[in-house]
Structure 1
Amino acid sequence: MPDLGDFTPRSGRPLAGIKVVDLSKILAGPYVSMTLADLGADVIKVEHPEGGDPTRQWGPPFQGPDATYYLAANRGKRSVTLDLKSPEGQETAHRLIADADVVVENFRPGSGLQQVFEHTRLTERYPRLVVLHISAFGDHGPLRDEPGYDMVAQAMSGLMSLTGEADGPPVKAGIAAGDLGAALFGAIGVLSALVERARTGLGQYVTTSLYETQLALHINWATGYFATGQTPSRLGSGHPNLVPYQAYPASDGHFVIAVGNNALFARLCTLIGLPELASDPRFANNRDRVANRDQLNTELERVLRTRTVAEWCALLKEGGVPVAPIQNLAEVYEHPQTAALDIVQTVDHPVAGPLRQVAFPVNYHGNRPPVRTAPPLLGEHTEEVLNPPSRSAQ
């Protein structure tokens, strides 16, 4: 039975022996291939000789010659420069693909490159190959040929209609939720296809899109809409199904309270000096609290504004109520919990010097896959990959 290469599950490199040719650019595709690289795969990033991946210039900020945006999604890879629009570049790309396990691409549907590297041709020529195609809206439907931009996907998928304060304008998520959602589901698709190939010996064509993955992430928003037919509206930091479960103002900032049941609500009311709220028929059960969200929040905010974030967090945490300050990134990366997890690692970049990276967030038998190599310089490994030294010369 075909296997997955040098499978070493306790080393933190379960994809060792897997070769990936990454023909994608920007974020969704490169994040997939970086994930595979973190898991031990040999990832060859193919870039155009003139400028390479556009995110290399998506700055400031820059660290060394490249923007930090590029540095965020391309560690652990080898960069090869090819002009894929030229016959020579296409021939060389096929040389790389010939013994590859996975190809990742996000060519725009109907484009010249999408036709050149059309999946049926690839899978016919390389039956064991797993091809991942990421698009904006999927392979079918009236929007299939639209280009893939994260904000467009957030708008079209409904995410922006759910994000922001109730009386404010819609806003996009603070992270590239469309791109990253597609990347994570794309990685799941690739890994499951490799597992199936181990049984059948055959690869397959795997597709996902920014639009589809955002719909999958609606979760309770979608099922609530299906059940009621009512279009949900923005709730700021609030939860559609739980109250109190949001950010609240203290005297010096905001913090979050997360109450998931009636017992926790009663405990919260006692701790903040409003025990009568727990027996108020408007608030006694979660169903009632959701229906009377605004009235309850008015009562809570009146008291919560009287003390600091630190005071409330200490009091409520000691009393067993889920609570947390809202940290900025400086606080996050200085927090002892972050340090204890060893998730921020440093790797040497040939030009920029020491480069900090957020490592892969899954451990294997207690081992976190290490950040092995820095994001490559443009074309850094072209000679190494395309003209490796012969065994006799070694």
Structure 2
Amino acid sequence: MKPLEGIRILDFSRVLAGPMATQILAELGAEVTKVERPGTGDESRLFEPRLPRGESAYFFAFNRAKRSMTLNLKSPEGQEIAARLAETHDVVLENFLPGEMDRFNLGYDALSRRNPGLVYVSNTGFGQTGPYRLRNGYDTIFQALSGIMHLTGHPDAPPAKAGIPVSDMTSGLWIAIAILTGLVGRGRSGRGCHVDLSMMDVQTSLLALAAARLFALDEDIGRSGTEHPGRVPSAAFRCADGGWLHISGSDQHWDAICGVLGLDDLAADAALGKNAARVAARERVMAGMRQAIAQRDRGPLAEALRDRGVPAGEVNTVREILGDPHSEARGAVGTFDHPEEGAVRALRTPLRFVGYEDPAIGCPPPLGADTAALLAGELGMAAETIDRLRNEGVI
């Protein structure tokens, strides 16, 4: 048994944050029905990169283990179908601009009257209130506005985006948290709820440590590359063979770092045993470490540091970490079988259970593959009615 078996989610979200959340929940056992536009579906079905038979690897990354039905939400008949489906689901997720689901007669007020236990999550860029509520936004826009882009990169370089769509993906995790929290609350109170989840709010919440420095020191920090503003050493260093090694040490690691690197002068300065002194002497400490590490090859140095208990990690490429022995031992990469593309590699949902079945990698659905079965099985529609709806562009 999977832990979320029996939970039913009606998912109107598109592209990344919402689909990522419902993929996680689907592989944990929830039954997720993805509602898409007839003809084109989720726009990410057209995104790069493409697999050999033309399917979108982007779409595949966030839409596994779901059912797909097509439904024209601008059609009154399509709206009524969606509302009837919501009556038998535990969760509705949507990421339209504020007010748009109300215009479709599918807002929280309308659906909760038909299903008082409904957990309804609205994931928007800027939330249901505030002066920016009707703005569109993309991942990098949120990185820019939130300050994350200002903090990313090296001090002498322009702002940089994170290497992954961090705004979308962290929002996806918060959507999953919102859904699960709503379900737990419903289990205690018997009532559903509406969750207003702003991607901008999520990004602002990630500034916790940067905000702590502002609140405590009135310091509005900027880019620091791989260095930590409050701890020395914590940075990536270039090794003799051209590889990069990240070392992050606290007071208890300092003697070992000096011993492995042969930093006798720094080791002799007793004050440097405390992080505050190393932060104050940042340039001296970092210069000594850079010089010593530049003479050593990455692999042997990393092992020597780890043998002494020093946290050290090679700066890997994606290919390197996915082929790493530890990733292989943990089963980080698996496959699913797709009717068009055949066996496709994918990253596993990272939870492992004792007491429940582990999540398995599901297959992304072809567009509208489950529409007829859902209408017949869920709503009792006859084949003739389904054919009519298809011919009229409702499905």
TM-score (norm 2): 0.91
Cα distance change on mapping 1:390 and 1:164 into 2, 3 Å: closer
Whole-angstrom distance in 2 between the partners of 1:389 and 1:278: 72
Letter paired with 2:150: S
Find the residue that maps to 1:72 and give its secondary structure: helix
CA contact (8 A) 2:65 2:364 kept: yes
Where do 5+ consecutive residues of structure 1 fail to align? Answer: 1-10
- Residues 1:340 and 2:337 are matched in the alignment: no
Classify the secondary structure of the residue corresponding to 1:116: coil
Question: Do structure 1's residue 369 and structure 2's residue 347 form an aligned pair?
Answer: no
Q: Report the equivalent of 2:129.
A: 140
Aligned counterpart, 2:216: 227
Contact 2:119 2:194 survives alignment (8 Å): yes
Distance 2:171 2:19 in 1: 11
- Cα distance in 1 for partners of 2:49, 2:331 equals 27
Partner in structure 2 of residue 190 of structure 1: 179
1:199 Cα deviation after fit:
1.5
Q: Quick check: 1:75–1:371 contact (8 Å CA) kept in 2? A: no
1:78 to 41, 44, 67: 67
8 Å CA contact retained: 2:346, 2:361: no
Q: Deviations over 1:90-118 (max 9, x none)?
A: 11111211100000100112436666322
Structure 2 residue aligned with 1:267: 256
Following superposition, which runs of at least 4 residues in structure 1 exceed 6 angstroms of deviation?
Answer: none
Residue 257 of structure 1, aligned match among 238, 242, 247: 247
Q: How do residues 299-314 of structure 1 correspond to structure 2 at under 5 angstroms?
A: 299-314=288-303
Match of 1:5 in 2: none
Contact 2:351–2:359, Cα closer than 8 Å, also in 1: no
Query: 1:176 — aligned with what?
Result: 165
Question: Aligned pair count?
Answer: 380
More displaced 10-residue stretch of structure 1: 200-209 or 161-170 = 200-209
Residues 322-373 of structure 1: CA distance to partner in whole angstroms, max 9, x if unpaired? 1121111111111111111123221111111112221211122176633353
User: Do the aligned partners of residues 328 and 372 (structure 1) sit closer, same or farther apart at CA in structure 2, a change above 3 Å counting?
Assistant: closer
Could you tell me how far apart the structure 2 residues matched to 1:205 and 1:279 are? Answer: 61
Range that drifts further, 268-277 or 37-46: 268-277
Moved more, 97-106 or 136-145: 136-145
Number of the residue aligned with 2:205: 216
Match of 1:8 in 2: none
1:211-242 deviation per Cα after TM superposition (whole angstroms, max 9, x unaligned): 11112222211111111111101111111221
Does the 8 Å CA contact 1:281/1:288 hold for their aligned counterparts? no
Q: 2:346 aligned with 1:357, yes or no?
A: yes
TM-score of the two chains, using structure 1 as the length reference = 0.92
Counterparts of 1:1-394 in structure 2, within 5 Å, are 11=1, 13-111=2-100, 116-252=105-241, 253-260=243-250, 262-280=251-269, 283-365=272-354, 369-371=358-360, 373-388=362-377
Residue 119 of structure 1 aligns to which amino acid in structure 2?
A: Y
1:142, CA displacement in angstroms? 1.1
Give me the identity figure in percent: 38
Task: Answer with 97-106 or 266-275: which moved more.
Answer: 266-275
Please tell me whether the aligned partners of residues 246 and 258 of structure 1 are also in contact (alpha carbons under 8 angstroms): yes
State the one-letter code of the partner of 2:175: G
